[in-house]
Structures are given as structure tokens and as C-alpha cells.
Chain A
Amino acid sequence: MQTSVSNAVAPAQFTASEGAWALAWRRFKSDKVGVWSGITVALSLLLVLSTLLGSVAHDWEKEVAVSHAPPSWAIGTPSTANDAKALPEIVLYEPTPTDIVDPIAAQWESAQKAVKPSGDKVNALATSLPMGSDKWGRDVLSKTIKGAETSILVGLAAALMATVLGSVLGAVSGWYGGIVDDLSNWLYNVFHSIPGILLILAIAAVLNTKGTMAVVIILGTTGWTGTYRLMRGEYLKHRHREYVRAADAIGASNNRRMFVHILPNVSHVILVQFSLLTVSCIKAEVILSFLGFGVPVDGVSWGTMLTEAQNDLLVGIWWQLLAATLAMSIFVTALSLLTDSLRDALDPKVIH
């Protein structure tokens, strides 16, 4: 990706030619879909950052509404929840008339007061929220944002791990060749011959510890193969280029040539791989968490929300499903479209 001087606009005076990244940026700016998806992704990441810092959705676990409060924009509509109530209810306990005195009524009342000191607060529970509430009266909107934090961070971390693994292994393998290359290729073949989802499940089975870190490790150690293959190819290609030979001539070390000279020239491949991997890692995290091999129950991610939403749906509570699905679709779509645009913008060979 050497820049060409022929791009200079003014022929009369010599101006420095634009760098590859500047050119890519110009190409990217002219791509409307790319710009808008880029803005969406940036805003989402900003939201994640602010959740991390605790300024948004830090109190997502607080009970702020009645259980299963509907979204405020859907109160009037006959919700399916009412249909569900029409189903024959199984009554396990019939409250008896007033002539029976509850022996612990007084104690119960004082205990209640101890837990919730002011009676007003109990009444202050909202009956509707912008995105409704879940079974425990938690705000679904905050929950979705908190879930976005988990899902996106897990996706980014796992993708980062896979990209770094694949890039370093691919670079070393393509650069040195010989026995290093043979060994890495063997490792690649081994990982590549086991379908991804099976490897993920097998590692989930042996790790047997649930948690966000486990998901990152599972997805990071299984996702590197594609990046490895691409990077190896790139390094094979660049190894004998003139600029690398020139660097050799001025005495640059192996590491310097690999990571200072070649790496910037193949960084666009890494960037695209990273964002592709982020998309697939987010999707995989959702499935893993849903199956119960991922984020634990006390945490929240889009995957655990879908688990709850599936049960909610049976009684006609649809808003949690909607919230998690919308959030995930918006982010993943934006990121996928951004990846496509990045690839087009960074590859000078694509004709526009």
C-alpha cells in the first residue's frame, strides 16, 4: 500500500502525497452507509464506556417498577398478557374470609416496615416504563444497556485475543517459514478440522466455570484460525518486497522488519478481521449465555436476557425480547456494515 505521488492535486507546486490511511478515510467518507454505521457503532461504544464508568445504568438491578410493567407506549393496546390471564389459573391457596385472624399479622407488618421504611416508596413503583420492566420490576431499558456492556465488551475482548493470536502466529509463520511454519500450519489444521461450534462447546464443557472471562477465553482460543491464514499469506507476500529488502539492507532486525515495516502495511487486514470477529464473538456469546455456558445468572448480557425473554413470552410478555433483539440487531448490523465499508475503503483495488 505505497502511496503514489500522481495523486497530488496541484501540478505546479509539489505537495506531499496523501498517506494510505488518509486516502482510505476519504474513500470511507464518501460511503454514506459506512459513515452512518460508523456513527452508530461509535455511539454504542460511548454508551458502553459510560456504563463502565458508572454514569449510566449503574442501578439496573434496582426494583423500580411493578413486575412485568408494560412499556409506556404500549399500555393502551390490548397486550397478549391479558390473553394469557384468560388461561385457567391454577389456584393453590384460596384466601379465606376475614373471620380467620392471621396470627403473625402484626409481626409481618413490622417486618415489612423494617425492610421498606417508608410506605410511599412501595407505591412509588412505576406501572409503566419506557421499555417496560422484567419479572423483578427492573427497568428493561437499563438492563439492555447493562447487557450491551457485557456482550460488547466480551465480544471485543474475545475478538482482540483471537486477532492478536492469529496475527502474531501468522506473521511469525509467514516470515520465518521452515519448521515454524510447519508447526503453525499443523496447529491451524488441527483447530480448523474441528467445527468452531463444537470446539467452543468442548472447551465450555471442560472449563466448567461460568463467567465472562471463561467466554472470552473460549472464543479467543477458537477464533484465531481465519486471521492466521490471512496474515500468513500477507507476510509471505510482503517478505520479498523491495521495501523489506531495503530495511534489511540498512540492518533492521527481524522483529523490526516484521512489526515496524510490514505490520503497518497489513494493518488493514487486521482491522477488518477484528471487526468481523467482534460480530461473530458477540453472536456466539449470546448463544453460549443462553445455553447456560456463558455469563452467569447474576450478570446480565443479551444472551441471558433472551433466556428470560423466552419464559416471559409464554405469558405474553414480549418487551424484554424486543429490547434485547433490537439492541443487538442495531449494534451488530451497524458493525457489519461498517466492516464492509472499511474493507472497501482500505482496499485500493476495489473500483468505486
Chain B
Amino acid sequence: MSAYILRRLWQMIPTLAGVILLVFFLFNWIGGDPAYVLAGLFSNQEQIDSIRAELGLDQPLHIQLWIFVQQVLTFNFGNSWTTGESVADIFATRLPASLTLMAPLLVIETLIALVLAVGLAWVRGSSIDRGTMVVFTALMSVSILVFIILGQYVLAYRLGWFPVQGWSDNYWKNITTYAPLPILLGLLVSIAPNTRLFRSFVLDEVDQDYVRTARAKGLSEPRVMFIHVLRNALIPVITFVISNLPGLLLGAFLLERFFGIPGVGREIILAVERSDFPVIKAVTIYVAIATMVFNLIGDVLYRITDPRVQLR
């Protein structure tokens, strides 16, 4: 196992190098000269030159690349171009809000989707199953924007059940007052696709021999479905959830934006709007690293939960 983990870590190096190259290529080659953006509308050549020197843009490309690699390895991306805050600080301060929103959302959505998936797989092929699948397809085709716009308008603005937006420094107040509506809307959006996916995982299991054996020895159908089948279907579910954790951080960017939650996702949108390259570069690199690491964790967990799987 440790040999496998070591090899996987070793294989990450070329991928990481690729990500660094891709980001460098995007921002230094396609992105144009940021000095003109930074210097503003009324700037003279001197100002532009000084900004270029400050950012290292007057250096040849390979030296710029080397500077960038150093930044990645030392976790030091310098300061945001718009607020002057250090990029590391931005993440440290925005992460708690994102986690407050996403952790409960992830747990609740996974549980609900699992129960629904097993339930639907139980009555597979029936009109309930097919009807629900059509409804879910329809739900998935409504843009997430519509859910948020309508939810915010009806539940918060008109009915006043929730605050329209806001965030405080108090964790307890956030989780009880400000987070529930975004979480609710997040659930509405994510349960349909997750249930569809988990249902297919469960359906992969229901025709296996061990299920027939369980029925043959007279176990009740709930026991077969919720103990025997569910346990095995959980394996791909765990892998899926784990490897999607880093993406989750950004997944809520629309929720964070609409509800004024100072999280990582909203910060990225702001950075894109302001062409704040250091922030976007840092997010891209670190989320990519996190994705690779969590993919590995997912695969290792797969191996632990299912001894039949051979890792190569």
C-alpha cells in the first residue's frame, strides 16, 4: 500500500508541473500585460515600467516561470493586486465561511441522496422510479440561478423567513441564521444529480450474487437493500464524495455571491471581475493540488473498503 501511495505521489509531479505550465501560459501569455491594468487609465510610461519591474515582467519568460515556480513551492503568491492583502491571508480568512456553508450541505445532501437512491433502486422500473427520474431531470435543467433568485426572493425577501443576506463573525449565529437558506437552496440543486448518480451505483449492486444469497436465506427486503446492498454501493459513493471535496469549495460560489457570504468562492468571482491574477493563480494551483491529493485519498479508501480492488 505504501509503495502504491509513494508511486502515486511521484506521478503527481508531472501533472503538477503541467498545471503550473498551463497557469503560467494562460496568465503570462494570453492574459496580456497586467501593468496597463494596474497602472490605471491615466498613467505614463514610467509608472508602467516601475510596475513591470516590481512584478518581474521585465525579465525574460524563463525567469518569470522560475519566479512562479518558487511562488508555488513557497506558498507565497504575494499580494492581491486590488486590495493589497496577501493571498495567503485572503484564503485563511475566507475559508471558514465557505466551510460553515459547505460542510453541513455536503453531509445532508449525501445522506438524503443515498436514502433516495436506495429507495428508488428498490422500486426500480416502477412508475414511481421513472416518474421521479423524469422530475429530477427536469429539476436539473432549471438553472441553479433560478433556484437562488426565486428562493432568495420568496423565502427571504417576501416571506421573511430568512435574512436576505449577511454574515457575522459568530459561528453559531451564522449556522443558525445566515446559512440555512443557502444550504436549503444548495440541497434543492444538488440532490437530483447526486441521487441519479448514487442510484446507478446501487443498481450496479442489486443483481449481484450476494444479493440473491441474502434473499435466499430469507432476509427481509429492507435488510437486503439497506444493509447488504447499501454497504457495497457506499464504496463508489465515498470515492465520489472525497474526490469532489476540493471542487466543493468553489461549487458554492453562486450561493456565496448571492447571499453575501465572504467565502472562497465569492473571492474568486471578485478576483475574476477585477482581473486580480495572483488570487486566481493561487486558487487554481492549490485547488488542483488538493484535487490530486483527494483523488488519491479516495482511491486508497476504495482499496481499504473493498479488498477485491487491486491498486496498480
Contacts and interface: CB of A to CB of B under 8 A. Distances in A.
Given A190-B18, A313-B153, A202 B284 contact: yes
Given A206-B26, A325-B143, A189 B284 contact: no
Contact residues on B (Cβ < 8 Å of other chain), bracket: 35 or more
B287 A194 contact: yes
A306 interface: yes
A333 B141 contact: yes
B157 A314 contact: yes
A193 B292 contact: yes
Q: Is the interface of A mostly helix, strand, loop or mixed?
A: helix
A197 B250 contact: yes
Contact of B246 (A195, A290, A333): A195
B27 A194 contact: no
B30 A190 contact: no
Contacts of B138: 329, 333
A279 B142 CA distance: 11
Contact of A328 (B21, B23, B142): B142
B144 interface: yes
A321 B150 CA distance: 9
A204 to B, nearest CB: 6
Nearest to B289: A193
B287 A283 contact: no
B146 A33 contact: no
A194 B295 CA distance: 12
Interface stretch (B100-108, B209-217, B227-235, B271-279): B271-279
Interface in A20-41: 33
Nearest to A196: B247
A309 interface: yes
Contacts of A191: 22
Interface in A285-317: 286-287, 290-293, 302-303, 306, 309-310, 313-314
A252 interface: no
B142 A186 contact: no
B15 interface: yes
A306 B271 CA distance: 22
Nearest to B285: A194
B18 to A, nearest CB: 3
A144 interface: no
A54 B57 CA distance: 48
A165 to B, nearest CB: 15
A276 to B, nearest CB: 12
Interface string B273-312: 1010100100110011101100100000000000000000
Contacts of B150: 313, 321
A107 B145 CA distance: 47
Given A204-B272, A205-B275, A333 B19 contact: no
A233 to B, nearest CB: 16
B31 to A, nearest CB: 4
Nearest to B244: A195
A198 interface: yes
Contacts of A187: 18
A199 interface: yes
A201 interface: yes
A205 B18 contact: no
B19 A329 contact: no
Contact of B18 (A189, A195, A207, A336): A189
A328 B145 CA distance: 12
Given A287-B145, A321-B146, A206 B291 contact: no
B269 interface: yes
B145 A202 contact: no
A83 to B, nearest CB: 9
A325 B251 contact: no
B288 A325 contact: no
Q: Which interface residue of B141, B150, B153, B273 has the most chain A CB atoms within 10 A?
A: B141
A332 interface: yes
B267 to A, nearest CB: 11
B32 A208 contact: yes
Given A186-B15, A321-B150, A328-B141, A197 B251 contact: yes
A56 B160 CA distance: 42
B249 to A, nearest CB: 9
A124 B87 CA distance: 58
Interface in B205-243: none
B30 A206 contact: yes
B84 interface: no
The 4 closest A-B pairs by CB, nearest first: A190-B18, A332-B141, A206-B31, A195-B247
16 contacts: A187-B18, A189-B18, A190-B18, A194-B287, A197-B251, A201-B269, A201-B272, A202-B272, A205-B272, A206-B277, A283-B143, A306-B146, A321-B149, A325-B146, A329-B141, A333-B138
Interface of A: 33, 186-187, 189-191, 193-199, 201-208, 279, 283, 286-287, 290-293, 302-303, 306, 309-310, 313-314, 321, 325, 328-329, 331-333, 336-337, 340
Interface of B: 14-15, 18-19, 21-23, 26-27, 30-32, 134, 137-138, 140-146, 149-150, 153, 157, 246-247, 250-251, 253-254, 268-269, 271-273, 275, 277, 280, 283-284, 287-289, 291-292, 295
